[in-house]
Amino acid sequence: MFEWRLLRKLDWLLLAAALALCGVGMLAIYSASRPGLLLQGQPPAYLLSRQLLWFGLGLVLLGGLLYLDYMVLLRWRRAIYLVAVVLLLLVIKLGHSSGGAMRWLGVGPLSLQPSELSKLAVLIGLAALLRRDPAAPLSGGALLRSGLYVAVPFLLVFKQPDLGTALVLAALWATMVFLAGAHRWHLLALALAGVLAFSAAWQMGMLKDYQKDRLRVFVDPGADPLGAGYHVTQSRIAIGSGRLVGKGYLRGTQSQLRFIPEQHTDFVFAVIGEEWGLLGGLGVIALYLLLIWRMGRLAEAADDAFGALLAAGGAAMLVMQCVVNMGMTMGIMPVTGIPLPFLSYGGSSLLTNLGAVALALNVGMRRQKIRW
């Protein structure tokens, strides 16, 4: 039975920040998708209505995760991991492709992206594997086991190909072993191994041509302004033209005339920068900072290592996605196709991010359960 008194410890500020970001995302998705839908003869709120449906499912997931004691996830971690791996395997056999990548499974009228949901499975599994006595350093054996644990979903996601999500999984692993107390020499060895693995993947042709082109354009932005560099060029124009207060909602010329590719998904922050200006962009960043700060505080106050790693790992996952996405829209990070949490269109991403927030809220609600 759920103890309603636990709601007294619910971090309402964290929940409000997450819901506010979802609201901003709904407004941005409608503005960004409306011009294209009108040209196709579809209702202008078609994608918004689908995102609202996913938001409703996300609230159900959030409520379900708050109802359960997060310690139950220790018993379910293997089943959760197995389901995530099976879904990734099903994508290879039964998935449908879009934009040259096979990442989605059809679930009735909706499309599920298992690579997004695998982030939660990896987060829960790593928190369980890496929990330990804070006074003891993380052993090399635990580090190796956690690496093998992440390797399976990483390789399956990389094969789709979904380089952005694969890098998030790798970065999540590196961050969590750091938080768990890995020795600095182990971390240095991991960094070196990552560089060597990336170099080998480049030389052996494991990266797609468009992925290589994006990295080349990042190094030399003017190398292909109408090809691989087009996304970033139009995004920077949109953000710069917004100036201080923006051009107004539904009045951005770059977005309404559809100059920004993928403007309702990967480049939704460019739409916000053009329509709401510098102040609007800073407001969104302030909401993210509030959300991350509260998740960090819940991690600090956790009663056990498992709960602390759940909250801190979730916060780290959101930070990585925000930094990479906003960085690529401004041309200071390579384009990797990572969605902006809570703002980009995509139901699986929204479910995953709300799930990460729910886990942190759960840890906060159940801290100091017994007082003598």
* Dist CA 338 CA 121 (whole Å): 18
Residues in the chain: 372
Among 291, 230, 227, CA closest to 260:
230
Distances (CA, A) of 283 to 32, 45, 212, 225, 293: 19, 25, 34, 30, 15
Helix (H, G, I), strand (E, B) or coil at 104: strand
* Dist CA 360 CA 10 (whole Å): 10
Give me the chain's average pLDDT, please.
88
Across 122-136, 199-213, 332-346, which has the greatest mean pLDDT?
332-346
Q: Quick one: pLDDT at residue 173?
A: 93
**Two tokens at 286?**
């302030």
Residues 224-241 have a mean pLDDT of 82
The answer to whether the peptide bond before residue 161 is cis (omega within 30 degrees of 0) is yes
* Dist CA 286 CA 17 (whole Å): 9
Among 6, 8, 12, CA closest to 70:
6
CB 296 within 8 A of CB 312: yes
Tens digit of each residue's pLDDT (9 = 90 or more) over 271-296: 999 999 999 999 999 999 999 999 99
**Helical pair 230-242 and 305-329, crossing angle rounded to 10 deg:** 90
pLDDT band at 100 (very low <50, low <70, confident <90, very high): low
Among 94, 162, 134, CA closest to 337:
162
pLDDT band at 370 (very low <50, low <70, confident <90, very high): very low
* Dist CA 271 CA 256 (whole Å): 9
pTM of the model: 0.92
Q: Quick one: pLDDT at residue 73?
A: 94
pLDDT band at 222 (very low <50, low <70, confident <90, very high): low
Residues 320-343 have a mean pLDDT of 91
Distances (CA, A) of 338 to 127, 182, 274, 293: 23, 27, 20, 22
**Two tokens at 171?**
């970065």
Residues 236-243 have a mean pLDDT of 93
Instruction: Choose between 266 and 370: higher pLDDT.
Output: 266
Q: Where are the alpha helices (DSSP H) in 160-267?
A: 163-179, 184-203, 209-219, 230-242, 253-256
Instruction: Choose between 227 and 325: higher pLDDT.
Output: 325
Contacts of 195 (CB under 8 A, 6+ apart): none
pLDDT band at 1 (very low <50, low <70, confident <90, very high): low
DSSP state of 330: T
Tens digit of each residue's pLDDT (9 = 90 or more) over 145-161: 899 999 999 999 988 87
Strand partners, 105: 112
Q: Quick one: pLDDT at residue 96?
A: 72
Among 131, 169, 171, 164, CA closest to 305:
131
pLDDT band at 361 (very low <50, low <70, confident <90, very high): very high
Q: Quick one: pLDDT at residue 344?
A: 96
Distances (CA, A) of 346 to 263, 319, 342: 12, 18, 9
The amino acid at 320: M
Residues 12-19 have a mean pLDDT of 97
Number of Cβ within 10 Å of residue 19's Cβ equals 17
CB 181 within 8 A of CB 137: yes
Q: Quick one: pLDDT at residue 97?
A: 67
pLDDT at 168 over 80: yes
φ, ψ dihedrals at 126, nearest 5°: -65, -40
pLDDT band at 371 (very low <50, low <70, confident <90, very high): very low
Q: Quick one: pLDDT at residue 372?
A: 35
CB 150 within 8 A of CB 170: yes
pLDDT at 8 over 80: yes
